[in-house]
Amino acid sequence: MSRSESELSGAERTARIVELERGSVIQTYTRQPILLVRGAGAKVWDAEGREYIDFVAGVAVNTVGHCHPAVVEAIAHQAKELIHTSNLYYTENQVFLAEELKTLTGMDRAFFCNSGAESVEAALKLARRATGRSKIVAAVHSFHGRTLGSLGATYKAVYREPFRPLAEAEFVTFDDPEALAAMVSKETSAVILEPVQGEGGVNVPSPEYLRAARQICDDCGALLILDEVQTGFGRTGRWFGKEHSGVLPDVMTLAKGIAGGLPMGAMLAAQSVSEVFQKGDHASTFGGGPLVSAAALASIGAIKNEKLVERSAEMGAYLRSRLVEEIDAREVRGLGLMVGVELEANCPEIVNRARERGVLLNATSEHVLRMVPPLVVGKEEIDRVVKVLGEILEEP
Ligand SMILES: *Cc1c(COP(=O)(O)O)cnc(C)c1O
């Protein structure tokens, strides 16, 4: 390379990274061909200076927006004090965060880890320990992660089949209380459900469904695990998806939107269930470290200060109504700023065309677009995205 990095044009930097990535990163991702270098609020910019409205938000992670000043400040401050200690010692932020999560969720105790899949792993281990049973019931179109344990509860057969044997769940039709009642037995350790299915295409169950699930679990002595990795922290227009049905689970899993973009997961449990985990039963070297916990506290603070939960409900309703008005969709569904648009058209193709017009979208399948923008998104940005989508759908 004759010229220094800084002399390369944006297009050259992008081409170079695309080329290098192919040879140096294991090829498990299908990436959009842009090099993102900066973000603020609901927008990101690529190396060529192009601006995008971000309706993917790091897959429902950047709830308070990209580089929220309070999160940046908390990270910068904590980074100068203490970054990592392990869980062999006490640190303040982890305990303050656990207290905060207790208050927000109504659960009793927290275990911290570093991702959604890890929070599900912890939940499945806890359920085994608490019930002495090993069978899991999950829903058709569920997504709970890609590690060997969480993968067993993830519906898509193409994700699971190459990795058998796994501890696989029994899958039951989502939003069907009778089917669930028929499947759950005295051998069931836990039922794991998303309050709104995310990766499965933004599927919203009736509020009665989770209430029925609660009852069915109680009748059989199985635990109810609500996977709120995607639905947590205001995404659905309530702090947590469970609030739409008023159900309190035995175990709750959190990640994605928890820490303003830093990697963190948490498993929360009711008191009696949490007590079956004893010293040495589970652990994480990084879990609940001072830096990520500081970011989580700042992010939660920002959600409160800026009333982002209410804003999610409001802007989500606005987005859905604009979509219904402007777009010829098979269905527009969702809660808060977790929105699915089912279309006749090929959605991966729409994702490409939208990107070329400065809008980042995600397709969960051939015919479903998922919209999960930062909760700070504004009406102008929503209008722009709906306009772009409308234009694309009118093209030949
Ligand atoms: C994303 C997701 C996971 C997995 O989270 P990772 O951080 O990718 O491991 C688990 N459950 C749900 C509901 C999710 O949306």
pTM above 0.75, yes or no: yes
Q: How far is CA 211 from the centre of its chain?
A: 22
For ligand 1, what atom is nearest to the CA of residue 147?
Answer: 9
**Based on the domain organization, do 215 and 294 belong to the same domain?**
yes
Alpha helices in 161-246 (DSSP H): 177-183, 207-220
Rounded mean pLDDT, 203-218: 98
Mean per-residue pLDDT, 348-363: 98
CA of 253, closest atom in ligand 1:
11
| Residue-level pLDDT at 114 | 98
Strand partners, 197: 203
Q: Is 84 exposed, middle or buried (0-12, 13-18, 19+ CB in 10 A)?
A: exposed
Instruction: Please indicate, yes or no, whether residues 128 and 274 belong to a single structural domain of this protein.
Output: yes
pLDDT digits (tens, 9 = 90+) for 49-99: 999 999 999 999 999 999 999 999 999 999 999 999 999 999 999 999 999
Query: Looking at this protein, which amino acid is placed at residue 275?
Result: E
What is the predicted pLDDT for the residue at 87? 98
Of 248, 281, 305, which residue constitutes the final position of a domain? Answer: 305
Pairing of strands 338-342, 368-371: antiparallel
Torsional sign, CA 49, 50, 53, 59: negative
Task: Report pLDDT for 227.
Answer: 99
- Residue 101 CB neighbour total at 10 angstroms: 22
Asked whether residue 317 falls in the same domain as residue 294, the answer is no
Residue 1: pLDDT over 60: no
Burial class from Cβ neighbours inside 10 Å (0-12, 13-18, 19+) for residue 209 reads buried
Q: Which residues are annotated as a binding site for N(2)-acetyl-L-ornithine?
A: 146, 284
Mutate-to-test residue for ligand 1 from 124, 256, 267, 362, highest number of ligand atoms within 8 A of CB: 256
Q: What Å distances lie between residue 133 and 34, 94, 189, 218, CA to CA?
A: 47, 31, 5, 15
- In this structure, is residue 25 part of a structural domain? no
Non-local (6+) Cβ contacts of 72 within 8 A are: none
**Averaged over 189-197, what is the pLDDT?**
98
Average pLDDT, the chain: 97
pLDDT score at 131: 98
- Give the end of a domain, one of 305, 328, 349: 305
327 shares a domain with 285 = no
Co-location of 106 and 179 in the same domain: yes
What local confidence, expressed as pLDDT, does residue 43 receive?
A: 98
Q: Let me know whether 217 and 111 are in one domain.
A: yes
Mean pLDDT (whole number) for 270-299: 98
Per the domain annotation, does 13 fall within a domain?
no
pLDDT (0 to 100) of residue 335: 98
E strands, the chain, are 36-40, 43-46, 51-54, 109-113, 135-139, 170-172, 188-193, 223-227, 251-254, 265-269, 331-335, 338-342, 359-360, 362-365, 368-371
Which of 63, 147, 199 to mutate for ligand 1's pocket (most ligand atoms within 8 Å of CB)? 199
Residues 125 and 255 in one domain: yes
> Does residue 337 sit within a domain?
yes
Residues 167 and 314 in one domain: no
Calpha distance 6→16 (Å, rounded): 13
272 and 155 co-located in one domain: yes
Q: pLDDT tens, 153-168?
A: 999 999 999 999 999 9
State the residue range of the domain holding 333. Answer: 307-396
Is residue 321 domain-shared with residue 261, that is, in the same domain?
Answer: no
For ligand 1, residues with CB inside 6 Å are 115-117, 120, 143-145, 194, 198-199, 227, 229-230, 255-256
How confident is residue 3, by pLDDT bands cut at 50, 70 and 90? low
Give me the CATH number covering residue 193: 3.40.640.10
| Banded pLDDT at 5 (limits 50, 70, 90) | low
Residue 135: inside a domain: yes
The verdict on residue 8 lying in a domain is no
Q: How far apart are CA 80 and CA 78, in angstroms?
A: 5
Angle at which helices 290-305 and 69-81 pack, to 10 degrees?
150
Report if residue 24 sits inside a domain: no
pLDDT digit string, tens, across residues 290-341: 999 999 999 999 999 999 999 999 999 999 999 999 999 999 999 999 999 9
* Percent of the chain surpassing pLDDT 90: 98
**Does residue 219 share a domain with residue 115?**
yes
CATH code of 386's domain: 3.90.1150.10
> Which residue, 305, 322, 357, sits at the end of a domain?
305
For the cut 60, the answer to whether the pLDDT of residue 348 exceeds it is yes
pLDDT at 89: 98
Are 268 and 318 contained in the same domain? no
Q: Does a structural domain hold residue 16? A: no
62 is a domain residue:
no
Number of domains in the chain: 2
